[in-house]
Structure 1
Amino acid sequence: MINKSIPTEPSTPQELRTIHDFTDEFLVVCPRCGHKAVVKPSTDGLPPRLTCLNCGSVRQWTSAQKGVLFSKQSGTWPEGQYALGDAADPYFHLPLWLQTSCCGHTLWAFNQRHLQYLRDFVAAKDRHTPPRETKDPLNSLLTSRLPKWMQLARNRDAVLHAIVVLETKHNNGNSQASTAAGR
């Protein structure tokens, strides 16, 4: 049964987004205290930075390798390598704060806007994607990169429930919310 707070028939997600549209902030697990910390990319010439409002931990990232590594196993990412593709931030490779078990997989989001985008996509009954610009590379849109298990209608309720778990965790700030949404 769907929670009444979950929209059951939202409009079709019309925004053409890539994963890079959500890389302006990463909510991570603080390596010092285990609470929510924020990783911000470089701004105004400053290097990317990790900040925990709970314990005050601050770290700056230093690039050791050029380019972007696309990989699914964050445990294999070399230090100082910007890497995308797993439930970890691309700089410090720390576990994302917004992640939970769902349908035998891990559902994760970089931040609240990313989570909202996933919610809108999963809850939509009509997932027709507007035409892409010819200059855009094939398969670059986030909707085309989402795993099949997340797109299946039979998993919709479970995925939406997991998203509610993550929204609750986000809204509770630094509390140690459960990360098991099950299924």
Structure 2
Amino acid sequence: MNIFDKEYFPLHHFSYEVFVRCPKCSGLGKVTTVKEGYFYEKDKSAKFSCLECGHLSASLKEWLGYYVGYIGFDYKGKACGNCGSIFQKEFEITKTPYKSGMAECPVCHKEREYEINWYRYRGESPTDPFFGLDLYFQKQVKNGLLWVYNLEHLQYLRDYINATVRKRERVGLYSMIARLPDFITSSKNREAITKQLKNFEEEIRKSSANKAHKLNIG
């Protein structure tokens, strides 16, 4: 019997090491931060290094990830240009923000063009949360995209998927487990998910071994 009795961590718990694609050579790179602490502490210490071309960066001037846009994204909302009613609207995430968009007032139903406020999107997406770089280890499995930050994240996910008994106390709305998509938690996909996680693990260990070898002969 496999028992999952680990604490239900938020995703950022695993973000101290994230394997990503280098923005210069598209090779394997790594974002590292302090291991413990709140997100803003990790954000300040985040560094990128490419394991292939050697590109280094303590901070990227431009966010390379996704943006999410809002009309009236604050406690005041946005006043309709026709009747003055307050409303809000969220736009789909994108990597190419645009200045304005059309929105319909829910009260008078008048559609007008409004300026959009864009924010960095750090949701459950296959990018690192500090620079927005694409994750290196991601793969389409069944009906969804499977991805991992690092070996600890991978093992934690594998332990949960293969558990026959899982503790339910203090799951938490913002825990990684509570936000897993259905295709990962579905029992019919367990074998395929586990197989791909094994492939990821072999790739990560091989890459780490190659890096260590280059340092030894360098």
Cross-structure match for 1:75: 95
| Counterpart in the other structure of 2:22 | 30
Distance 1:52 1:156, change over 3 A: same
> Which residue pairs with 1:122 in the alignment?
161
Equivalent residue of 1:75, what SS? coil
Structure with more relative contact order (C-alpha pairs < 8 Å, separation 6 or more)? 1
Give the corresponding residue for 2:50. Answer: 52
5+ long unaligned stretches in structure 2? 35-40, 70-91, 98-116, 211-218
Structure 1, residues 20-55: CA drift from partner, whole Å, max 9, x if none? 211212110112223221112377996522101321
Amino acid of the residue matched to residue 18 of structure 1?
A: P
Quote the Cα distance in structure 2 between the aligned partners of 1:84 and 1:101.
19
Paired residue for 2:126?
87
3-state SS, counterpart of residue 207 of structure 2 = coil
Cα RMSD, aligned residues only: 3.4
Shift in Å at residue 148 of structure 1?
1.2
1 or 2, which has the higher strand percentage?
Answer: 2
SS at match of 1:83: coil
Deviation at 1:166, TM superposition (A): 1.0
Q: Does 1:15 align with 2:7?
A: yes
**Superposition deviation, residue 13 in structure 1:** 3.8
Q: 1:31 touches 1:94 (CA, 8 Å); kept in 2? A: yes
Aligned to 1:112: 151
Name the residue aligned to 1:165. Answer: 199
1:165 positional shift: 1.5
TM-score, normalization by structure 1: 0.71
Matched, 1:151 2:185: yes
- In structure 2, give the amino acid aligned to 1:40: T
TM-score, structure 2 length as denominator? 0.61
Separation in 2 of the partners of 1:64 and 1:82?
Answer: 13
1:40 correspondence with 2:23? no
Q: Deviations 1:120-176 (Å, cap 9, x if unpaired)? A: 0111112232x22xxx9x41222111111111111111110111111122112178x
In structure 1, stretches of 5+ residues that fail to align are 1-8, 176-183
CA displacement at 1:79 relative to structure 2:
9.8
Whether contact under 8 Å (2:68, 2:120) holds in the other structure is no
